[in-house]
A = this chain, B = another copy of it.
Amino acid sequence: MQVGSRMRSPRDSGLRFLAWWACTWWLAAAASAQSPVLPSWNDGEARTRIIEFVRAVSDPRSRDFVAPGERIAVFDNDGTLWSEQPLYFQFVFMLDQVKAVAPKHPEWKDNPAFQALVAHDMAALEKLGHKPVIELLAVANSGMTVGEYDKTIRDWLATARHPKFKRPYTDLVYKPMQELLAYLRANGFRTFIVSGGSVEFMRPWAEAAYGIPPEQVVGSQMEVKFEMKDGEPVLTREAKIAFVDDGPGKPVGIYRHIGKRPIAAFGNSDGDLQMLQVTAAGEGRRLVLIVHHDDADREFAYDRDSHIGKLDKAWDEARAKKWIVVSMKRDWKKVFAFQE
């Protein structure tokens, strides 16, 4: 519909009032006819506190009311919105790229990091340290245009399967968190992902999985370079990290990308601590929540001693500051949509 041309008639105002009234009634009825709030969450402290917070900041009569434009909610991705064990899924993808392009890199044959990666030799990898592995991953995941890389990611997501669940990785998003995202948006929140993973890896599926469009995904960034290639302007990926959106980088990513302090933040590990601290430190009512992985049957159980998604300092701070700690086992009726 094209908006803008004039249309008026003398009997407009009475009709308009009636229509406005009907419209208000219809919207209220449509809204309240939604399914019940957070159906995959068990009744308990976590669910109750979430609902109380949302009511307090979205009810105009509440003393904790927050204008819709300021209702910013930020979510870590790995371990908070989808699984991250036994290895960050993006790491598995990048590793597969190393194997895929190895034939073009005969020089890797004698590279100890390459040998250890292909052999899954964790002891050797630990001895080598992060640097040579990250260098290898960076080379294997660069040199192409951003469009070509996007296709590589989509192809991988369509075919790769999780070792424990034997399903596409994108099936491993948490049903209760999907409901929470939708519930917040239905109450005037804008929801953002703020992840240590790269934006490229999340954007192709985040909208379908979480209702979060590409422009609301904040993440780590590789350098990309503008160039003309066969007369077409393209962006090419370089083997250099531009920004790490993890730990103390998360508040920086939020500042740069959003420019407002969130009033609600959701994480699961020490890499989220600074994001949670910055959210909690704002004036007015706040919601700060940590997902605790304590459900080895339905997902995984890990916290203080885990290499992936270590939850230690952030857990202590959550207890000291009375942030919500969600027990996946106790608080969630189901973890994944596919589980009965």
Contacts and interface: CB of A to CB of B under 8 A. Distances in A.
A47 to B, nearest CB: 12
Interface stretch (A13-21, A76-84, A120-128, A306-314): A13-21
Interface string A241-265: 0110000110110011111100000
A296 interface: no
B6 A36 contact: yes
A281 interface: yes
A101 interface: no
A277 B233 contact: yes
Nearest to A235: B255
A248 B213 CA distance: 25
A55 B257 contact: no
A10 interface: no
Contact of A260 (B31, B214, B277): B214
A34 B255 CA distance: 36
Contacts of A235: 251-252, 255
Contact of A278 (B29, B31, B35, B233): B233
Contact of A32 (B4, B16, B26): B4
A216 B213 CA distance: 13
Contacts of A274: 226, 233
Contacts of A257: 215, 257
A8 interface: yes
Contact of A2 (B12, B27, B54, B278): B54
Interface in A21-54: 22-23, 25-37, 54
Interface in A290-332: none
Contacts of A208: none
Interface residues on A, range: 35 or more
B16 A29 contact: yes
A121 B217 CA distance: 46
B260 A248 contact: no
A5 interface: yes
Given A5-B37, A226-B274, A19 B29 contact: yes
B34 A214 contact: no
A25 B1 CA distance: 13
10 contacts: A4-B35, A4-B37, A4-B183, A6-B32, A16-B29, A19-B29, A22-B23, A199-B256, A214-B259, A224-B255
8 closest A-B pairs (Cβ-Cβ)?
A214-B259, A19-B26, A226-B248, A22-B22, A23-B23, A4-B37, A7-B32, A3-B186
Interface of A: 1-8, 12, 16, 18-20, 22-23, 25-37, 54-55, 58-59, 69, 146, 183, 186-187, 190, 199, 203, 213-217, 221, 224-227, 232-233, 235, 242-243, 248-249, 251-252, 255-260, 274, 277-278, 281
